[in-house]
């Protein structure tokens, strides 16, 4: 059995845009053949045709993004990001790591494979917005990878159910920008709260100023608080992707916050 980490752009999205493009295109053509007054016909057919073009554009984007993110495709961007983020996570002998928003378990498992001497815990809310992701999927993927040092639980990134300084490492990938109505820097602080002194962290997300505020100031604050090492790495300048690729995919501003507490 092979691991199935899913695609960030599901097949259902591509199918929906394909159907929408075809139906609206056909409707526009049919309207042009009706007995409506020419002016009304032009307005209605034009509106429906514009909808078909919009659906077509979204179809083109979703097909492009699906190919980029596919684990079995040529680009394998998701895999590159996951494995590149996992490189910053180190567990001591018998140590414990936490992956916040584990989804299909990809990053949790990647960290566990790199740290067989420790154990990784993945948590996620697995809400209806991501119905194809589940705890069972994570466990199945872990089994498929031959990894036995993982565990998965339902959890809330806004309020982690763990005491201060509980984990030897914490990580997350493209999670916090999806959480609305919450200060993103507070989410980072909550994640770092459960990290032990001397523990490693790697948090990757779309850390644009509009979403996260002044992240350079946040880095300075962590250093002032005594963090041993803090670095903010732009991952759209060739680290994981090019700026053009990031812009097309809607990932502009992607950055890795890494270091040691």
What pLDDT, on a 0 to 100 scale, did the predictor assign at position 11? 81
Per-domain boundaries in the chain: 11-69, 77-260
Who has greater pLDDT, 94 or 64?
Answer: 94
Q: Is the pLDDT of residue 29 over 80?
A: no
The CATH architecture that domain 77-260 belongs to is: 3-Layer(aba) Sandwich (3.40)
Burial of 33 (0-12, 13-18, 19+ CB in 10 A): exposed
205 SS3 class: strand
Q: What is the pLDDT of residue 40?
A: 64
Percent of the chain surpassing pLDDT 90: 74
CA dihedral 126, 133, 109, 227 (to 10 degrees): -40
Look at residue 41 and tell me whether its pLDDT is greater than 60. Answer: no
**pLDDT by residue (tens digit) across 152-209?**
999 999 999 999 999 999 999 999 999 999 999 999 999 999 999 999 999 999 999 9
In 3-state terms, the chain is what percent helix, strand and coil (to 5)?
45, 20, 35
The answer to whether 207 touches 232, Cβ cutoff 8 Å, is: yes
């Amino acid at each position: 059995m092979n691991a199935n980490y899913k695609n960030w752009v599901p097949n259902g999205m591509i199918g929906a845009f394909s159907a929408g493009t075809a139906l609206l295109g056909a409707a526009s053509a049919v309207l042009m053949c009706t007995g409506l007054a020419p002016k009304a016909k032009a307005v209605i057919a034009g509106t429906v045709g514009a909808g078909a073009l919009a659906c077509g554009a979204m179809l083109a984007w979703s097909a492009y993004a699906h190919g980029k993110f596919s684990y079995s495709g040529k680009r394998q961007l998701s895999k590159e990001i996951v494995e590149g983020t996992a490189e910053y996570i180190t567990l001591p002998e018998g140590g414990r790591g936490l992956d916040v928003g584990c989804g299909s378990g990809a990053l949790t498992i990647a960290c566990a494979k790199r740290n067989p001497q420790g154990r990784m815990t993945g948590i996620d809310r697995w809400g209806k917005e991501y119905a194809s992701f589940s705890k069972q999927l994570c466990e199945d993927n872990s089994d498929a990878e031959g990894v036995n040092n993982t565990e998965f639980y339902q959890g809330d990134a806004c309020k982690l159910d763990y005491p201060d300084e509980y984990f030897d490492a914490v990580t997350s990938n493209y999670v916090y920008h999806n959480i609305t109505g919450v200060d993103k820097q507070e989410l980072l602080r909550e994640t770092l709260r459960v990290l032990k002194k001397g523990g490693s962290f790697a948090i990757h997300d779309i850390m644009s100023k509009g979403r996260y505020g002044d992240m350079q100031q946040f880095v300075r604050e962590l250093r002032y608080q005594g963090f041993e090492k803090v670095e903010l790495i732009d991952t759209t300048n060739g680290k994981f992707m090019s700026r053009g690729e990031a812009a097309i995919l809607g990932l502009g501003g992607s950055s890795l916050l890494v270091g040691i507490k």
